[in-house]
Amino acid sequence: MDIGLIARLLPHFLQAAGLTILISTLALALGLAVAAGIAAARLSPSRVLRGFGAAYVSLIRGTPCLIQLFLIYFGGPQVGITPGPFAAGVIGLGLNIAAYMAEAIRGAILAVDRGQSEAARSLGFSRGQAMRRVILPQAARLMIRPLGVNAIALVKGSSLVATISVVELTYTAQRLIGSTYRPFEVFGIAALLYLVIIHTLRRGIDRLDRAYAPG
Amino acid sequence: MSDAPGRTPMIEVRGARKAFGAAEVLRGIDLTVGRGEIVAIIGPSGSGKSTLLRAINHLETLDAGEIRLDGRRVNLPLRGRAFERHVNALRRQIGMVFQQFNLFPHLSVLDNLALAPMRARGLDRQEARALATTYLERVHIPEQAQKYPAQLSGGQQQRVAIARALCMRPKIMLFDEPTSALDPEMIKEVLDVMVELAEDGMTMIVVTHEMGFAREVADTIAFMDHGRIVEALPPAQFFTAARTERAQLFLSRILGH
Amino acid sequence: MGLDFTVLADYRGVLALGAWWTAVLTLAAAALSLGAGILVALALLHGPRWLALPVRGLAGLFMGTPLLLQLFLIYFGLAQLGIDIPVLAAGILGLGLHFAAYNAEVIRAGIGALEAGQAEAARSLGLSRMQAMRHVILPQALRDTAPPLGGNMIALLKESSLVSVIGITELVHAAQRGISETYRPFEFYIAAAAVYYVLNLLMEAALGRIERRAEASR
């Protein structure tokens, strides 16, 4: 263990960790927004929308995230989209996690819907009102855990953007392993930073879950 | 008791003590079971009946006292591999039947019976299955051999469990409330098998709430309460002339008069 | 320049070979992840105490950090230690150990969920701890956890794409070869995605059959 080396590398790593957090946060925001839309489509009365939602989830979940990322970054220019590495990373990660998060949202809504929806409708609520006032407030709580699991997976998955040269944690680790020939020290620092980020995220999710606990 | 003179009893329990945390479950148990003797252990729930039975099979470790099976110490101060060898050898000689049957759901009835003879006694598959078939006939359900436990009724499952224990040719059979989880109409078929076993001379200790069975089949009734054997008498005497107040109270409750 | 999927025709063989290696890699890593996952679960449940802490720490490390980072470590780290293994073996090792940590978690929970009576019945018949585990406990735990284990294997198939970065010539790598010669990334990545999708469907069908068989023996 070379303390001097670690001290020299640390500033690089902290900056890279910042980028990992930033890209994960932006992808999470995009992912949640898209996921809400996909979940709504999958639960909508329209057959076309339901089919679109199901196809989206199936195609995204049935293929590797890495390929989706490459398709956007390397294939994009062929169809007139030219995102930079960072933008491609946010879009790719966001669209990917959206498929998984849509299922988490849909699952939570369906878990509440049975019974509750009928009860609300029998009280004279419209379908929309029943969803907004009765179903969603209850489902929100059920979503926290599964969405949290996806958020943690997203942080780890954000390492994939290293392959399109975004200078986040894994890219930095790879480069520094190559230049220092000290894989274990470099890996150790990167691993520690990932563990800290994920641990913090997990505690946040726990807190959120408790805050919304009934009673 | 039915011991031939000069022969050791099958089971000897001396001063058995066991506590779970602050709760003393066995508070000095003495019990002797002769060869071919049938002992019914009765008493209110929480009196330590099951714990005593499990201690004989070393599923529970005693805090104090000793248990002998056929003259050999059951509870030895062994550890690690030596302990493992000791209990494995011991348990092969003791058949145990549980309240919840505990059949292996992933194996067919035949394989439930053949597993231990193959793995613990080294029989080959063919020998083990032949043995299994013999004992399925003894409990009158040879036709269920290829089914899975979940496809059988509770009474059938418990009979398979009895046959599974018999396949190890044990010296003694322990029954831990064998009919308590059964629907009333299935109790008799299990008790009938146990009666036949008794008639064949098997040594048996039966924890039960079936007073009819205890009265007709047992040689001795041991009444347990608060971790002690309060009385141990032949059934005729026990049911008519139990000496202790607690046994009388228990009998009046359970017999409804 | 527009899209032209006909360029793929010349690379059918290359892509098929890549798909073949993806399948081989996935199956080998899946087998390793199940075997190692069982060992880790047993070590945590029944192993000596001195073993539990390092095993738990390593499993936590495998689950708490990105697979890509682990692949880089195995690839560069083994070289650093002077251990020279083929890159394919390094990829299988990385994927297998990563998913072993997840499988161990599932299997441990499966064993824990079984009724105590199962072990007691096995032990009371005179089976040793090992025999009870092998013939009574593990078969049931694996049967009960077939769906989540299958989910892990589906994830493994997709994540196997990451080993392309350490130079294993699987499907992504095959696509990249085509791209380097034709400069048509869109077509090749779509083709690779399609192949993954089909492999995914095949795997789901196979897992479905296994699960139905497991379900039948309840």
Query: Any idea where the domains of chain C sit in the sequence?
Result: 5-216
Give the number of other Cβ atoms within 10 Å of residue C211's Cβ: 15
* Average pLDDT estimate for C94-122: 95
H runs (alpha helix) in C47-170? 49-64, 67-80, 87-113, 116-124, 129-132, 138-144, 146-159
Which residues of C fall within a CB distance of 8 Å from B164? Answer: 125
CA distance C214 to chain B (A): 9
Average pLDDT of the residues in C9-26: 95
C126 and B103: CB-CB below 8 Å? no
Q: What is d(CA B102, CA C192) in angstroms, rounded to the nearest whole number?
A: 50
**pLDDT tens digits for A58-88?**
999 999 999 999 999 999 999 999 999 999 9
B82 part of contact set with chain C, CB < 8 Å:
no
Name chain C's partners: 3 or more CB pairs within 8 A. A, B
Beta-bridge partner residues of B96: B174
- Do C and A have ≥3 inter-chain CB pairs under 8 A? yes
Give, in degrees to the nearest 5, the angle at Cα B201 between B9 and B188. 120
**Mind listing the pLDDT tens digit of every residue in chain B (257 residues)?**
444 445 689 999 999 999 999 899 999 999 999 999 999 999 988 899 999 999 999 899 899 999 999 988 888 878 778 888 888 888 999 999 999 999 999 999 999 999 999 999 899 999 999 999 999 999 999 999 999 999 999 999 999 999 999 999 999 999 999 999 999 999 999 999 999 999 999 999 999 999 999 999 999 999 999 999 999 999 999 988 878 888 888 888 877 65
Sequence-ordered list of residues with C-beta below 8 angstroms from that of A7, at least 6 positions apart, any chain: none
Q: What is the ipTM of this complex?
A: 0.92
Closest CB from A64, A75, A170 relative to C69? A170
| Confidence at residue B1, expressed as pLDDT on a 0 to 100 scale | 46
- The crossing angle, in degrees rounded to 10, of helices A169-180 and C67-80 is 10
Q: pLDDT at position B246, please?
A: 87
Does the pLDDT of residue C26 top 80, yes or no? yes
The residue written with tokens 């001379």 in the block is B201
Burial class (CB in 10 A: 0-12, 13-18, 19+), A137: exposed
Query: Which residue, B196, B210, B185, is CA-closest to B163?
Result: B196
| Domain C5-216 bears CATH identifier 1.10.3720.10 | yes
**Could you say which residues from 113 to 152 on chain B have a Cβ atom under 8 Å away from some Cβ of chain C?**
115-116, 119-121, 148, 150
Residue, of A19 and A214, whose pLDDT is higher: A19
* Residue C218 banded pLDDT, cuts 50, 70, 90: low
Selecting from C80, C162, C185 the residue whose C-beta is nearest the C-beta of A74 gives C185
Query: Cβ C127–B57 below 8 Å, yes or no?
Result: no
Output helix, strand, coil percentages for chain C, rounded to the nearest 5: 85, 0, 15
Q: Over the stretch A110-136, which tens digit does the pLDDT of each residue have?
A: 988 777 777 877 787 877 788 887 888
Q: Report pLDDT for B105.
A: 93
- Say whether pLDDT at A188 is over 60: yes
- pLDDT tens readout for residues C104-116: 999 999 999 999 9
> Cβ of C126 and B106 within 8 Å?
no
DSSP state at residue C136: I
Q: Is B115's CB within 8 Å of C136's CB? A: yes
Confidence of residue C1 (pLDDT cuts 50, 70, 90): low
The residue of B57, B119, B123 whose CB has the most chain C CBs within 10 angstroms, and thus the best one to mutate to test that interface, is: B119
At B84 the pLDDT is 85
Instruction: Look at chain B and count its residues.
Output: 257
Q: How far apart are the first and last CA of chain C?
A: 58
Best of B102, B164, B167, B173 to substitute, by most chain C Cβ atoms within 10 angstroms, is B102
Taking CB atoms and an 8 Å limit, are C131 and B104 in contact across chains?
A: no
| Average pLDDT along chain C | 93
Which residue in C1, C61, C189 is closest to A74 by CB distance? C189
Amino acid B175: pLDDT: 97
Mean pLDDT, chain A, rounded, equals 91
Contact C196 A64 (CB under 8 A): yes
The pLDDT score that the predictor gives to residue B3 is 46
Residue among B99, B251, B98 nearest B180 (CA): B99
Instruction: Identify the CATH assignment for A3-211 out of 1.20.140.10, 1.10.1040.10, 3.30.499.10, 1.10.3720.10.
Output: 1.10.3720.10
What amino acid occupies position C156?
L
For chain A positions 34-93, those within 8 Å of chain C (CB to CB) are 59, 62-68, 70-71, 74-76, 78-79
B-to-C residue pairs, Cβ atoms closer than 8 angstroms: 71
Dihedral pair phi/psi, residue C181, rounded to 5°: -95, -25
Mutation target to probe the C interface, by most C beta carbons within 10 A, among A2, A66, A158, A172 is A66
Q: With contacts defined as CB-CB under 8 Å, which chain C residues touch B149?
A: none
- Interchain proximity C65–A156, CB inside 8 Å: yes
DSSP H/E element including B13: strand B11-20
Please give the DSSP secondary-structure letter assigned to residue C71: H
* Average pLDDT for C195-202: 96
Ranges of each domain in chain A: 3-211
The CA radius of gyration of chain A, in Å to the nearest whole number, is 21
CA dist B257 and B239 (Å) reads: 12
How far is Cα A166 from Cα A163, in angstroms, rounded to an integer? 8
C118/B contact by beta carbon, under 8 A: yes
Quote the minimal CA–CA distance from A181 to chain C in Å. Answer: 7
DSSP H or E stretch at residue B173: strand B172-176
- Measured in residues, chain C has a length of 218
Residue of chain B minimizing CA distance to C120? B59
Distance between CA atoms of residues B27 and B51, nearest Å? 11
Per-residue pLDDT, B45: 86
B104 and C140 within 8 Å at the Cβ level: the answer is: yes
Burial classification of residue C112, based on how many CB atoms lie within 10 Å of its CB (0-12 exposed, 13-18 middle, 19 or more buried): exposed
Among C80, C159, C197, the residue with its CB nearest the CB of A59 is C197
For residue C117, the chain B residues in CB contact (below 8 A) are 98, 100, 102
Nearest chain B CA: its distance from C164 CA (Å): 41
Residue C203 or residue A121, greater confidence: C203
Tokens at residue A172, please?
A: 């930095």
Q: Which two tokens stand for residue B241?
A: 């002339």
Nearest by CB to residue C68, choosing from A78, A170, A199, is: A170
Q: What is the pLDDT of residues C34-83, one digit of tens each?
A: 999 999 999 999 888 899 999 999 999 999 999 999 998 888 888 888 88
What residues of A are in contact with residue C3 (Cβ under 8 Å)? Answer: 78-79
Task: Report residue A183 CA to chain centroid gap.
Answer: 28
From A19-23, B5-9, B79-83, C130-134, the region with the lowest mean pLDDT: B5-9
Integer Cα distance of A147 and A196 in angstroms = 19
Which pLDDT does position B108 carry in this prediction? 94
Asked if the C-beta of C122 comes within 8 angstroms of chain B's C-beta atoms, the answer is yes
Check A63 against C196: CB less than 8 A apart: yes
Whether the full predicted model's pTM is greater than 0.90, yes or no, is no
Cβ atoms of B19 and B41 closer than 8 Å: no
Computed from CA positions of residues B55, B58, B59, B62, in that sequence, does the dihedral angle turn out positive or negative? Answer: positive
CA atoms of A101 and A39, how far apart (whole Å): 8
